[in-house]
Amino acid sequence: MTANGWLQIFFLLLVVLLVTKPLGAFIARVFGRERTWLDPILRPVERILYKLTGVDESHEMDWKEYALALILFSGVSMILLYLLERVQLWLPGNPQKLAGVAPALAFNTAASFTTNTNWQNYTPETTMSYLTQMVGLAYHNWVSAAAGMALAIAFIRGISRREQKTIGNFWVDLVRGTLWVLAPLCLLGALVLVSQGVVQNLKPYDTAQLVDPYQTPQLGSDGKPINGSDGKPVMQTVTQQVIAQGPTASQEIIKELGTNGGGFFNANSAHPFENPTPFTNFLEMFCILAIPSAFTYALGKMTGSPRHGWAVWTAMALLFLAGVATAYWAEARGNPLLTSAALHSPQHSSSTVRTTGNLEGKEVRFGLANSALFATVTTDTSCGAVNSMHDSFTPLGGMVPLINLMLSEVIFGGVGAGMYGMLVFVILSVFIAGLMVGRTPEYLGKKIEAYDVKMAMLVILIFPLVILVFTAISVLHSFGTSAMANAGPHGFSEVLYAFTSAVANNGSAFNGLSGNTPWYNTSLGFAMLLGRFMMILPMLAIAGNLAGKKQTPATLGTFPVTGPLFTVLLIGVVVIVGALTFFPALSLGPILEHLLMQAGKTF
């Protein structure tokens, strides 16, 4: 670890902190229907959209109608994306003449982008046409992010409103989040990315002749080498390189701002066409955190308790720093087996050997600090974009992204999703505080009763249930284990990470797992849908119930949710719930792998 590395980590957090209040105040004004400087341009567009779609912007919805609108919208959008993938061969915008996507993979991808997961069981540049990328995938990047913001705002309205049955209008919230928040930021951000060298065109791929041709094993449809009659791999000579390109910058910016994560290229943000410079690397991490961080201030402003918003932000920031410090330390320490091998190498004396950390799977241009930082940022949120391969991290370094996912991504979290996820933990925290002092728990003047706690616990329990059941099935049957690239605890970690990422709607992976199989395409698709919608329904039920309650004034016995004590309690609840639930699984995966690595065995 270096001082320069720590400087970059704290500088990112400082910039995110500086933008939290102004952006959060703007978000509160947008969803509070207050006038903003963009209204003269965007209000006419908004009215036209409502007129064309028949939306009554003055109509308010209760939580059931709000949930129904979200589910119907997501369902129809998912079906349209599935159909677009299947027939892309016969549509324009396909200069490479890419074939239609196979049914199981098309289902997985449609579920993935509908749920803001962006899990990719395919190589984008050889699977999806430009039209599918722009009209299908990028569209879902926008609307899934806007839907997440709408849900967070609906929850905040439930907290702030008194004796009302409604929590807003889903269609209005969806449109305003798209037009006022995402569109201006994406327009500006895409231009900045283009200025730094991120590709943006509609040209066919270029082909370059290699100066030094090489041989490589021929791969079958399952991605594994084909063996000849002699049992040896069949080799093929590569003389050309196909250079993929396309409308990358416009998708790259919404991929980060919307915490989507799906890359235009297979290497994601490790690809120089997506992330060419240190500045774009910083900008992409900043974009991932900006809106989720701003929602903490919007929470405080809309509920009339700014100090509460900052208390939640502090809890998120402390958990973030703990994660990045652990990942940075583990990766800087490196693999002791490699250091030992170097010490015994005849080419090196013990005085010249020093560890450079674990550089496997990382871009040297970004280094250890920015790789560990990006991995923490992308898994603290629901983004899933990567500038290094998490599968190549050390056991403890890779455990940090995995734990971030297991904590339901409430450390800043996805756009909107992190906010309503953290609010569920807030309700549990004040409930526990109430039990400790023997009073009916209250949250910002609203009494937290049995119904609220039951719904909160339903959210908490659905998450690990889906993950652990699918993981258990996968590691007990050949249709699951045959796709694992590694045996032992690391292979288990690959499967556990896949389903945790899917249910958490993140999309990052331990890429040693070959996910493009009938079992994983189907099971991961359903895991993503359950992780999105089965957790949204009880959350909206809490919001609707809170909106109908009276607000009682605080007394001396009321547990304050604005100070350090609340922040510590909130952190404790988040960590303990995650640790107690997943510790047995972590013991079988990264923890066991770390202990075996120390004993001289790897997988």
- Using H for helix, E for strand and C for coil, what is the string for 226-244? CECCCCCECEEEEEEEEEC
pLDDT at 338: 75
- Reduce the DSSP state of residue 566 to 3 states and report it: helix
pLDDT-based confidence at residue 552 (cuts at 50, 70, 90): confident
pLDDT-based confidence at residue 226 (cuts at 50, 70, 90): confident
Mean pLDDT computed over 5-20: 96
Structure tokens at 464: 């690990």
**Residue 551: pLDDT above 70?**
yes
Are 281 and 272 in contact by the 8 Å Cβ rule? The answer is: no
Lowest mean pLDDT among 94-108, 224-238, 524-538, 562-576: 224-238
Q: Distance between CA 186 and CA 255 in Å, rounded?
A: 10
440 burial via Cβ count (<10 Å: 0-12, 13-18, 19+):
exposed
**Residue 153: pLDDT above 90?**
yes
Mean pLDDT computed over 242-260: 92
**Residue 343: pLDDT above 70?**
no
Mean pLDDT computed over 505-529: 92
For residue 144, what are the domain limits? Answer: 23-205+245-298
pLDDT at 416: 81
Higher pLDDT, 349 or 118: 118
Domain membership flag for residue 420? no
pLDDT-based confidence at residue 511 (cuts at 50, 70, 90): confident
Structure tokens at 556: 């001396």
Structure tokens at 27: 């978000």
pLDDT at 564: 93
pLDDT at 436: 82
What proportion of the chain, given as a percentage, has pLDDT over 90? 73
pLDDT at 434: 86
Higher pLDDT, 83 or 441: 83
> Based on the structure, what is the number of domains in the chain?
1
pLDDT at 571: 94
As beta bridge partners, residue 242 has 207
- Between the alpha carbon of residue 43 and those of residues 26, 34, 151, 170, 561, the distances in Å are 16, 12, 22, 17, 37
Distance, C-alpha 8 to centroid of its chain: 22
Element (H, E) at 206: strand 206-217
pLDDT in tens, 352-370: 445 678 888 999 999 999 9
Domain membership flag for residue 225? no
Domain membership flag for residue 52? yes
pLDDT at 156: 94
| Amino acid found at 435 | L
Domain membership flag for residue 9? no
Q: What is the full DSSP assignment across 427-481? A: HHHHHHHHHHHTS--EETTEE--HHHHHHHHHHHHHHHHHHHHHHHHHHHSHHHH
> For strand 206-217 and strand 235-243, is the pairing parallel, antiparallel, or unpaired?
antiparallel
584 burial via Cβ count (<10 Å: 0-12, 13-18, 19+):
exposed
pLDDT-based confidence at residue 132 (cuts at 50, 70, 90): very high
pLDDT at 345: 59
The angle formed by the CA atoms of residues 444, 446 and 452, to the nearest 5 degrees, is 115
Are 99 and 221 in contact by the 8 Å Cβ rule? The answer is: no
pLDDT-based confidence at residue 251 (cuts at 50, 70, 90): very high
DSSP-derived secondary structure letter, 589: I
pLDDT in tens, 50-78: 999 999 999 999 999 999 999 999 999 99
Mean pLDDT computed over 333-344: 72
pLDDT-based confidence at residue 420 (cuts at 50, 70, 90): confident
pLDDT at 185: 96
Mean pLDDT computed over 388-393: 92
Q: Distance between CA 193 and CA 274 in Å, rounded?
A: 9
pLDDT at 354: 58
pLDDT in tens, 297-335: 999 999 999 999 999 999 999 999 999 999 999 999 888
Structure tokens at 302: 């809309």
Lowest mean pLDDT among 280-294, 304-318, 588-602: 588-602
556: Cβ contacts below 8 Å, ≥ 6 apart: none
pLDDT-based confidence at residue 379 (cuts at 50, 70, 90): very high
pLDDT at 347: 59
Domain membership flag for residue 54? yes
pLDDT at 229: 82
Domain membership flag for residue 575? no
Mean pLDDT computed over 428-444: 86
Structure tokens at 176: 């305003």
- Reduce the DSSP state of residue 243 to 3 states and report it: strand
Domain membership flag for residue 448? no
pLDDT at 342: 58
pLDDT at 222: 67
**Residue 602: pLDDT above 80?**
no
- Residue 450 CB: number of other CB atoms within 10 A? 8
- Reduce the DSSP state of residue 222 to 3 states and report it: coil
Q: Distance between CA 407 and CA 161 in Å, rounded?
A: 29
Domain membership flag for residue 213? no
What proportion of the chain, given as a percentage, has pLDDT over 70? 97
291: Cβ contacts below 8 Å, ≥ 6 apart: 23, 27, 149, 181, 257, 259, 415
Element (H, E) at 307: helix 306-333
Q: Which residue has the tokens 């089965």?
A: 534
85: Cβ contacts below 8 Å, ≥ 6 apart: 100, 101, 106, 109, 110, 128, 132, 136
Q: Distance between CA 449 and CA 445 in Å, rounded?
A: 12
- Reduce the DSSP state of residue 189 to 3 states and report it: helix
